[in-house]
Structure 1
Amino acid sequence: MQRLALFDLDNTLVDRSEAFRRWAVEFCADRELPDDALAWLIATDQDGAVPRDWFFGEVTERFGLAASVDEAWRQYRHRMPELVSCPQEVRASLRLLRDEGWTVAIVTNGQADNQLGKIRRTGLDQCVDAWAVSGELGIRKPAREIFEAAARGCGLDLRGGGWAIGDSPVHDVEGGRAAGLATLWVSRGKDWPTELTPPDRTVTDVVAAVQVLRGEDSGL
């Protein structure tokens, strides 16, 4: 198997959940929304699982925003890259992988301005060889084609194998498996859905995932 590692972005390499919470706090304060608005926003967001156009449609209707759905969504995409964070140890782990001969890429769903903003503002653009963003390509995980695009961006072919690493059982694990990759699930403390075929390996965070790839985990 070739040393190719395809990482998810949100809630794998970067803390999207905390960034969203910070955005929601600002959103509520700026508009002087009622006390229950923050909890509603976080619940309705479903950890980023719902389409953003639907989400902002719900938001504008519930709170009677003057801005259109498209404008509210645009403002969100401008702000989120400023709020997202990537721990130094995550960037260091990716650099170490590359120093040891691994090729590393990001495979992410989302609008190009939002996702590329996150990649560049966190310095991840300096830690990977390529990325594939659904908003640029018109292809979304779990489709095999977006994993293929990431591999091509690295000058490689999925026929050589590799790993898909991420927190989504469907987008990252099932998608990666269908693309012919070994799978590494970043659980974030959650239980694996019993109705799905388990990943090849499970870890709690992306730093531990890199340790598995490097063969440092005692169970490898």
Structure 2
Amino acid sequence: MYKHLIFDLDDTLLDFKAGEKLGLDMVLTGHGISDLASALERYHVINHELWRQVEQGADRTKLLDGRFAKLFAEFGQAVDGHTLEMEYRHYLDTNYAKVPEADTILRALVDQNYTILAGTNGVKATQEARLSHSGLGIYFDAVYTSEEIGHSKPAAEFFQHIFDHERGMQSSKTVMIGDGLTADIQGAQNFGLDRIWVNLRNEANQTEFIPTHEVHQLRDLQAILA
């Protein structure tokens, strides 16, 4: 049925939260934050709003460079946001943790002759390093990042860029696979693609965006894509 598979990366194939937790702990405690629980809670609020703005087309670099400055200001500290962002990015770059069964499912899909693409809102250098060191990079025919494209999921321009660069790609034979309802599922739905929601945490869908399929572990993809 399908020929092209577009995979999201973070929390779909790569365990982003593992590196995020380590990076935040190191940056916050290393720069004098003692109330770690409160700081983490506020960070996630700030970060959620940041990515909401990015998905709506805001300047990602400016927002990323400002998130730690904004957070530390709430705790009475003035810091260089860009410097802390680069420090945090180092920890993310060296997080090579994978979602369980990522290798197994990708290997099986390669054997089935799918064209496997990565379509991520992540930073190019970070994602390329993590794919390489995790060993997952060998399964991908191409990697597309919002940083390179200039648009983030769910924007139609993100998906159009991929179609413009993949020979013979057809909407009816392409499926988006990811964990993000407002990025992956919304973007694919608006672009007219089938979409598989990778719902590893068994969360309720409280959005208006409807996946074509839903899986709760990566192995379940095999039944859909076999």
Q: Is the structural similarity TM-score above 0.5? A: yes
Query: Within 1, Cα distance between the matches of 2:215 and 2:2?
Result: 21
Query: Within 2, Cα distance between the matches of 1:211 and 1:169?
Result: 21
Aligned counterparts, 1:26-45, within 5 A: 26-34=26-34, 36-45=35-44
Query: Within 2, Cα distance between the matches of 1:125 and 1:33?
Result: 36
Identical-residue share of aligned pairs (%): 25
Provide, for residues 44-91 of structure 1, a one-character-per-residue CA deviation record: whole Å limited to 9, x for no partner: 225963423442232332355664111111222222021241146202
Please say if residues 195 and 213 of structure 2, whose CA atoms lie closer than 8 Å, have aligned partners that are also in contact: yes
1:152 to partner: Cα distance = 4.7
CA separation of 1:28/1:48 partners in 2, compared to 1, >3 Å: closer, same or farther?
closer
Which residue of 1 is the match for residue 202 of structure 2? 189
Letter in 2 for 1:94: L
Query: Within 2, Cα distance between the matches of 1:46 and 1:128?
Result: 33
Aligned counterparts, 1:56-205, within 5 A: 56-63=68-75, 67-87=79-99, 89-187=101-199, 188-193=201-206, 195-205=207-217
Q: TM-score, normalised by structure 2?
A: 0.81
Query: Within 1, Cα distance between the matches of 2:205 and 2:174?
Result: 22
Select between 67-76 and 133-142 the one with higher mean Cα deviation. Answer: 67-76
CA separation of 1:211/1:46 partners in 2, compared to 1, >3 Å: closer, same or farther?
farther
Which residue of 1 is the match for residue 16 of structure 2? 16
Please say if residues 158 and 179 of structure 1, whose CA atoms lie closer than 8 Å, have aligned partners that are also in contact: no
Which residue of 2 is the match for residue 7 of structure 1? 7
* Correspondence for 2:224 among 208, 213, 216: 213
- Give unmatched runs, 5+ long, in structure 2: 51-63
- In the alignment of these two chains, the number of paired residues is 212
- Give unmatched runs, 5+ long, in structure 1: 216-220
CA separation of 1:22/1:76 partners in 2, compared to 1, >3 Å: closer, same or farther?
same
Q: SS of 1:211's equivalent?
A: helix
Give the aligned CA root-mean-square deviation in angstroms.
2.5
Letter in 2 for 1:27: V
Structure 1 segments of 4+ aligned residues over 6 angstroms from their partners: none
Q: TM-score, normalised by structure 1?
A: 0.83
CA separation of 1:72/1:163 partners in 2, compared to 1, >3 Å: closer, same or farther?
same
